[in-house]
Homo-oligomer: A and B are copies of this chain.
């Protein structure tokens, strides 16, 4: 099958390599913002002005719902997030960023998406190619 061509495997291995590298860097980056890696992941998923049900977070994180409860408890106690009952279904609670949370999220994304020096080694043309390919890859 075409998915297991040598080049496809090689590319994916490199992406996995990248994943583990980032996984090791995240705790350091998170600590600078007084956050844990899990909280960074949460903050990344809650877009400002786009309230999201807790259940959907649990599904995206592929974790138990009770885990989300605890994570939101801590984020809420720090004033980063608000819990609101949904108007449509009073079982679901919808999360939204507070202004503080929104600012912290922006800071986090800024730190995370500031490209490392190694990206400067690519030509602009290669950078554009990389964007095009990754876009197709991630849908």
Which residue of the partner chain B has the closest CB to A28?
B62
A89 to chain B, nearest CB (A): 24
* B18 pairs with A15, CB closer than 8 A: yes
Copies of this protein chain in the complex:
2
A5: chain B residues within 8 A (beta carbon):
124, 127
* A19 pairs with B19, CB closer than 8 A: yes
Q: Which 4 A-B pairs have the closest CB atoms?
A: A7-B127, A12-B115, A14-B134, A3-B120
Q: Mark A3-30, 1 if CB is under 8 A from B, else 0.
A: 1110111111111111111111101100
* A112 pairs with B16, CB closer than 8 A: yes
A116: chain B residues within 8 A (beta carbon):
3, 12
* B14 pairs with A115, CB closer than 8 A: no
Looking at A10, A11, A23, the one whose CB has the most chain B CB atoms below 10 A away is: A11
Q: How far is the CA of A27 from the CA of B136 in the complex (A)?
A: 25
